Amino acid sequence: MTFNTFLRHLREGAKNVFRNGWMSVASIVSIIVSLFILGVFILLVLNVNALADKADKQVQIRAYLNLNVDQKLRETVQKEIAAMPEVSKIDFISKEQGLEDFRKSMGEEGKDLLDGFDKDNNPLPDAFKIEVYEPTTVPFVAKKIEALNTSHADEQPIMKVKYGKGTIETLFKVTRAVRNIGFIFVAGLALMSMFLISNTIRVTILARRREIGIMKLVGATNTFIRWPFFVEGTLIGLIGSLITVAILFVGYDRLAASVGSDISLQMSLLPVNELWQWGGLLLVLGVLIGMWGTTLSIRKFLKV
Amino acid sequence: MIEMQDVWKTYPNGTHALQGVSVKIDRNEFVYVVGPSGAGKSTFMKLIYREEVPTKGQISVNGFNIGKLKQRKIPYVRRNIGVIFQDFRLLPRLTAYENVAFAMEVIEAPKRQMKKRVMEVLDLVGLKAKANRQPAQLSGGEQQRIAIARAIVNNPSVIIADEPTGNLDPETSWGIMQLLDEINFRGTTIVMATHNKDIVNTMRKRVIAIEQGNIVRDQLRGEYGYDF
């Protein structure tokens, strides 16, 4: 193909987008709708994942000791827990330190409430703060620590083992569900918009059958006939995905800003500048949908 | 140049359009194809420019076995065949110039050569002055001249004309015929299907008559031979 011919194809393809007016608009809108939903899902999954990651790191086990546990037993228990292969770190938190931490976490409001408590009437038990290598092992490790009461049946050193029971499991489930539903949804939508485009192009081809017939008559190769349509589909995909990415990023940026400034929510969305690659992916996808849609629709018409 | 050997064409609906046609048309001949409607004239023409494929038999055009041609070779064979129709088949949104240039764009001719050649053939068909008009702004005869210009712009060795004067009044038809005669004089083979008795009987050329899918008459300097 000569350079001039290539330019001609680009020009013709671009002209066709305008010439077909509302059909092009319909295709572009269908791409916007499906890519937009895809984009929302991607953003959702990314943020839930990030949230889950953060929560993972914060997962720790607290094992509270019975009040009758003496120092020797306490050290034995600590050693036994530290020896568990899943455990990465264990810290002892004395009841005094526990009270101090509690005070801090209550802030100004709780100051009065805890005023009456000091070294002598501290109601809190001693505790261990345990961290594990793998967040999924948390429930298992917790059980193992509880089981220490069985091996030290006489002393019963463990009063209670606590961890974010339920929260983590739910979070994992939600992440997985969002991801799966999202993929099914998105695959369906991508397929739908592809067919919409192929349909649009088919309608325009039907309208231009005569023109194609004349092109063939004067000896145009199929490749030559196909190119402008291909350019047209690609442009429709590109325009659709550019609009979508713009809407998504501006909208997300606003949302992230408003969420970030709202202290009561205690959370923040991933910053926009970490998401450019996903924007790029949407662009590529839009273009591919456009190309594929065209290819689907012309093939049939080029058989003589 | 064009040779058919025992060519049969049966359409999917069971119509036997051609039944064992054999014919030879030499370089630089001018041939009228005549016969009643539905006799197989159009099929005969379509087989030459490979719009249809024979059910049986062989057709060669310019040395190519048209029936066995590979799909992707078809365009290249067509570039050597100019086709003209009763309904002109111009692209309505292009100008006269663009309609003719289109045929050269398709074969990827260099731009500079294109301009020169298009103006040359527009001059030949007598429409150089109306190069920038769109088909709708031209008369029927002028549109057919543009179609002829498009057909000859790539210097084909054959022109297939399927009732080129069918939509034109007698006077305009004569103009078109003079133009085709001129093109034939310059060395292009012309095969023309027609119902125009006056033209055939006045411009005596070879006449091939087809009836019910068979060639029933083939005479040099022949007559139309029908009353319709």
Distance CA A149, CA A68 (A): 13
Distance CA B153, CA A125 (A): 101
Out of A29-43, A236-250, B95-109, pick the least confident.
Answer: A29-43
Q: Which residue has the higher pLDDT, A206 or A242?
A: A242
Distance CA A108, CA B178 (A): 107
> Which pair of tokens denotes residue A29?
């809108």
Q: Indicate yes or no: CB of B102 within 8 angstroms of CB of A218.
A: yes
Q: Indicate yes or no: CB of B49 within 8 angstroms of CB of A304.
A: no
Q: What value of ipTM does the predicted structure carry?
A: 0.84
Q: Which residue has the higher pLDDT, A142 or A274?
A: A142
What pLDDT is attached to residue B40?
92
What pLDDT is attached to residue B137?
96
pLDDT, mean of residues B115-134:
95
- State whether residue A271 sits within 8 Å of chain B by CB: no
Bridging pattern class, strands B30-34 and B56-61: unpaired
Mean pLDDT (chain A, rounded): 80
Region at A156 (left for phi over 0; alpha for psi -120 to 50; beta for the rest): left
Of A1, A211, A304, the CB nearest to B74: A304
Out of A84-88, A94-98, A169-173, B111-115, pick the least confident.
Answer: A169-173
Handedness of CA A68, A73, A75, A78 (dihedral sign): negative
Q: Reading across the β-sheet that carries A158-162, which strands appear in turn? A: A87-93, A127-132, A61-65, A158-162
Chain B residue at shortest CA distance from A213: B89
> Buried b / exposed e across A188-213, counting CB within 10 Å, b at 16+?
ebbeebbbbbbbbbbebbeebeebbe
- State whether residue B207 sits within 8 Å of chain A by CB: no
Long-range contacts of A207-212 (CB under 8 A, 24+ apart): A209/A301, A210/B89, A211/B91, A212/A301, A212/A302
**Three-state SS for B190?**
strand
Say if residue A262's pLDDT is above 70: no
> Which pair of tokens denotes residue B214?
């068979």
What pLDDT is attached to residue B228?
74
Q: Are A161 and A146 in contact (CB under 8 A)?
A: yes
On chain B, the residues whose CB falls within 8 A of the CB of A5 are 105, 108
What pLDDT is attached to residue B131?
95
Query: In this predicted model, what pLDDT tens digit does every residue of A123-172 receive, in sequence order?
Result: 788 888 888 887 778 888 888 888 888 888 777 888 888 886 666 667 77
> Residue B196 — very low, low, confident or very high, per pLDDT cuts 50/70/90?
very high
Distance CA A109, CA A63 (A): 27
- Which range is most confident: A89-93, A295-299, B37-41, B180-184? B180-184
- State whether residue B53 sits within 8 Å of chain A by CB: no
Chain A residue at shortest CA distance from B90: A214
- State whether residue B89 sits within 8 Å of chain A by CB: yes
Of A213, A220, A304, the CB nearest to B106: A220
> Which pair of tokens denotes residue A207?
């309208």
Query: In this predicted model, what pLDDT tens digit does every residue of A27-67 receive, in sequence order?
Result: 888 888 888 888 888 888 788 777 777 766 667 788 888 88
Say if residue A228's pLDDT is above 80: yes
What pLDDT is attached to residue A198?
75
Share of chain B above pLDDT 90, in %: 86
What radius of gyration, in Å, describes the C-alpha atoms of chain B?
17
